[in-house]
């Protein structure tokens, strides 16, 4: 159920345009206001009919009861500062950033008393960006994680939960630092590995000429899809989730060295046991009905120690 009458989307790329399409799909009479920094994006968003487009972020949020920041994580603080004087009393401000603690630290100090800040993160996306890349079904059956602050009003959290459910998502709540660790494991470091592998293949291409590209197997193709994701978004993710990604990368490197050693020593037992364990994890995810988007938070939490 959407309880908001006017939703303002700041930043009009993949996620904002998908929110707009998904709101329209509900058929509810929700007004959508929008702003993006570049004129080209504003023009394209207007042409696509995503929202009523404004020339400034301040104008776009006026009178909105829900404002969602849909810009790269590193731009959230600046946008919050810009919109703060224009926010309606009682409005809820949320975001869709892939990192939560750094966004809270950047946004919260700018927001006036009487405005609720409830950070969020839909675990749904593609490698495409820009206003033309969104679609109404992006959030269907995917998780949206909310990381409310201790002072968040329960009624405001309920209203935001209802909003994401109306857009097709399943909603869960999580503590922000825990969110950042879980996402480092399930999304951030996997993206870094894909970027690295595609970079390695590109170096090798100079040795193997075209073969790496021409005969790409399915696994590598999946890596290239992920490695085509927006460079600004992912730069900001790593700069703003430094501690958790470095922690997970350290563990990853240790495991990689152990596998490298097993290959060098011809230790088939080690390799077989390792791959048996990882296969069981994948099967566990499928058995739990989580094979589309949802990581197993319980298992990840217990793996932290
Ligand atoms: N792409 C994904 O898979 C995905 C999934 C979930 C969450 N997210 C998060 O959602 C946010 C948006 O990602 P996206 O994929 O929609 O990106 P995108 O590149 O498609 O869109 C970003 C938009 O923000 C605008 N923008 C950039 N800086 C701005 C500023 N300072 N002021 C106003 N507008 C500005 C850009 O013009 C663009 O319209 C990011 O924080 C990202 O971490 C992305
Ligand atoms: O499917 C993809 O292309 C994605 O990378 C989406 C994905 C993910 O890692 O699952 C990427 C970043 C977001 O913060 C959430 C979702």
- Alpha carbons 18 and 14: distance in angstroms, whole number: 6
pLDDT at 298: 40
Q: How far is the CA of 89 from the centre of ligand 1 (A)?
A: 26
Structure confidence at residue 211 (pLDDT): 74
CA of 31 to the centre of ligand 2 (A): 28
Between the CA of 210 and the centroid of ligand 1 the distance, in Å, is 34
Hey, which of 187, 223, 231, 294 would you mutate to test ligand 2's pocket, going by the most ligand atoms within 8 Å of its Cβ?
A: 187
Interval between CA 297 and ligand 1 midpoint (Å): 25
Q: For ligand 1, atom 3, which residue shows the shortest CA distance?
A: 125
Q: What is the DSSP letter of 292?
A: S
Q: Does the pLDDT of residue 84 top 70, yes or no?
A: yes
- pLDDT of 291 > 80? The answer is no
Where does the pLDDT of residue 137 fall: very low under 50, low under 70, confident under 90, or very high at 90 and above?
A: very high
Distance 81 CA to ligand 2 centre (A): 27
Nearest CA to ligand 2 atom 14: 98
ipTM above 0.95 for this complex = yes
Atom 3 of ligand 2 has which residue's CA nearest to it? 126
C-alpha angle 4/5/6, rounded to 5°? 100
Domains of the chain, earliest start first? 6-174 (3.40.50.720), 178-303 (1.10.3660.10)
Q: How far is the CA of 73 from the centre of ligand 2 (A)?
A: 14
* Range 237-254 average pLDDT: 97
State the pLDDT confidence band at 178, using cuts at 50, 70 and 90: very high
- Is residue 263 scored above 50 in pLDDT? yes
58-90 b/e with 16+ CB inside 10 Å = b? eebbbebbbbbbbbbbbbbbebbebbbebbbee
Residue to probe by mutation, ligand 1, list 10, 12, 14, most atoms within 8 Å of CB: 14
Question: CB under 8 Å to 151, separation ≥6 — which residues?
Answer: none
Q: Is 69 touching ligand 1 by the criterion CB < 6 Å? A: no
Q: What is the pLDDT of residues 59-69, one digit of tens each?
A: 999 999 999 99
7 CB within 6 A, ligand 1: no
Evaluate if pTM is beyond 0.95.
no
Ligand closest to Cα of 126 equals: 2
Sequence-ordered list of residues with C-beta below 8 angstroms from that of 223, at least 6 positions apart, any chain: 193, 194, 197, 198
Confidence of residue 39 (pLDDT cuts 50, 70, 90): very high
Q: Read out DSSP for 249-276? A: HHHHHHHHHHHHHHHHHT-HHHHHHHHH
């Amino acid at each position: 159920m959407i309880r908001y009458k006017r939703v303002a989307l700041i930043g009009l790329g993949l996620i904002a345009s998908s929110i707009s399409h998904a709101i329209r799909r509900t058929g509810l009479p929700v007004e959508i206001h929008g702003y993006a920094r570049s004129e080209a994006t504003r023009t394209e968003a207007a042409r696509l009919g995503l929202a009523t487009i404004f020339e400034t972020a301040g104008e776009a949020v006026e009178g909105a009861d829900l404002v969602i920041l849909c810009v790269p994580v590193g731009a959230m603080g600046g946008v919050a500062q810009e919109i703060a004087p224009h926010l309606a009393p009682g409005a809820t401000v949320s975001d869709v950033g892939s990192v939560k603690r750094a966004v809270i630290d950047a946004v919260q100090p700018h927001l006036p008393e009487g405005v609720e800040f409830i950070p969020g993160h839909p675990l749904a996306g593609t490698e495409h960006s820009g206003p033309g890349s969104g679609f109404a079904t992006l959030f269907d059956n995917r998780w949206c994680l909310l990381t409310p602050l201790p002072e968040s009003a329960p009624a405001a959290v309920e209203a935001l939960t209802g909003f994401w459910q109306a857009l097709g998502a399943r909603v869960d709540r999580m503590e922000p630092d825990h969110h950042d660790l879980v996402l480092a494991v399930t999304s951030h470091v996997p993206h870094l590995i894909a970027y690295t592998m595609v970079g390695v293949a590109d170096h090798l291409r100079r040795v193997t000429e075209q073969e790496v590209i021409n005969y790409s197997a399915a696994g590598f193709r999946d890596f290239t899809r992920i490695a085509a994701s927006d460079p600004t978004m992912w730069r900001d993710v790593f700069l703003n989730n430094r501690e958790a990604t470095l922690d997970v990368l350290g563990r990853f490197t240790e495991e990689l060295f152990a596998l490298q050693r097993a290959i060098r020593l011809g230790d088939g037992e080690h390799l077989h046991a390792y791959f048996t364990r990882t296969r069981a994890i994948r099967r566990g995810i499928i058995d739990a009905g989580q094979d589309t988007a949802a990581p197993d938070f319980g298992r990840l939490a217990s793996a932290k120690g």
